[in-house]
Amino acid sequence: MSASARPRNRFDRRTLLKGMALGAVASTLPTSRASAAAGPITDGASVPALVIGSGYGGAVTALRLTRAGISTHVVEMGREWGTGAGTFCSTLSPDGRSYWFRHRTDQPTNYFIGSDINRDIDYYAGVLDSERFATMRVYQGRGVGGGSLVNGGMAVTPTRSYFQEILPDVDADQMYSTYFPRANAGLGVNNVDPAWFESTEWYRFARVGRDQARQSGFTTQFVPNVYDMTYMKQEAAGAAPKSALAGEVIYGNNFGKLSLDKTYLAAARATGLLTVSALHEVTTIRPGTHGGYAVTLRQIDDHGTVVATKTVTAQMVFLAAGSVGTSKLLVRQRALGNLPDLPATVGTGWATTAT
């Protein structure tokens, strides 16, 4: 989510997006909504808008574009997972579905448990990627829905005083009256039933931790989440298949979680103007011969074999491949001379949040 750095010069973002997008692609908009329904993207295709990545940034972008009447194509490195029993593997019994092209898991818990609990797995396009850099390791979601598939689902609206301290030039009134509520509604943010929390066996240890914290002088509060807490109550009552209560989280939830494929992306698809191509990785972006951009992609199968290389033309390209993916893609394009006008600051200042 972004806002103008100077409130006095602020534009209405939706109006600005519509004006720029419609002006750029008016001559190429489809004549019917059905024309955007075919996929995956084909070699030589020409699209009005291409969104790289289907995580939070990509999903929101896709929804805003399609609701503005613009035919939009999203390309995603990972799989289209779908939902239902057996889609994802369990946390305690990982298999090839757990990790993105690894022969062995790389459990985040290894680093504070102090012993190796990793397991050998099949080499497969799994849902969680572990990417190692010189001084850090980054875990990323792989699949249509991006990081929403594998994160804990916490959806915290920052304390207003903290927000204003860190981003003093952003219009806090607008953020708290319009954009945070809009995001929470779109994501399906909800809260645990306090009465149920106090009585259910499933939160017994959380209650112990809460009570110990209070005895030590700390305050506690509930954290909003995109996991459907009504569904969790049904799990506990034995009225629905267990997902969160079966320990599912970092390798995806078969039920209950309101990941982006069920919220923002589903809403964009409902317009009839969104197409998604999974297992497609962008390798090159360069200015097109007749305007727009020429984008080269490689399509892989579930086992990492390249099955096709495609070049498509897009009037607009939106990079939403995450902090790691977008940064790497831009730095590579600048180094190859494909996008020579990118500023020298691209790729700099990238670090952990604690740096």
Domain ranges of the chain: 44-154+249-355, 155-187
25 pLDDT higher than 80: no
83 pLDDT higher than 80: yes
Report, at the CATH architecture level, how domain 44-154+249-355 is classified.
3-Layer(bba) Sandwich (3.50)
Q: How many residues does the chain have?
A: 355
Give the chain's mean pLDDT.
88
10 Å CB burial of residue 343 (0-12, 13-18, 19+) is exposed
User: Which pLDDT value is given to residue 37?
Assistant: 45
Please calculate the CA angle 105-106-112 and round it to the nearest 5 degrees.
Answer: 135
Separation CA 303–CA 309 (nearest Å) = 16
The confidence band for 134, taking pLDDT boundaries of 50, 70 and 90, is confident
Higher pLDDT, 20 or 276: 276
78 pLDDT higher than 80: yes
210 pLDDT higher than 80: yes
C-alpha torsion 215→221→227→231, nearest 10: 70
% of the chain at pLDDT higher than 90: 79
> What's the start-to-end Cα distance of the chain, in Å?
22
Q: Which of 60, 73, 128 is nearest to 97 (CA)?
A: 128
The confidence band for 38, taking pLDDT boundaries of 50, 70 and 90, is low
The confidence band for 171, taking pLDDT boundaries of 50, 70 and 90, is very high
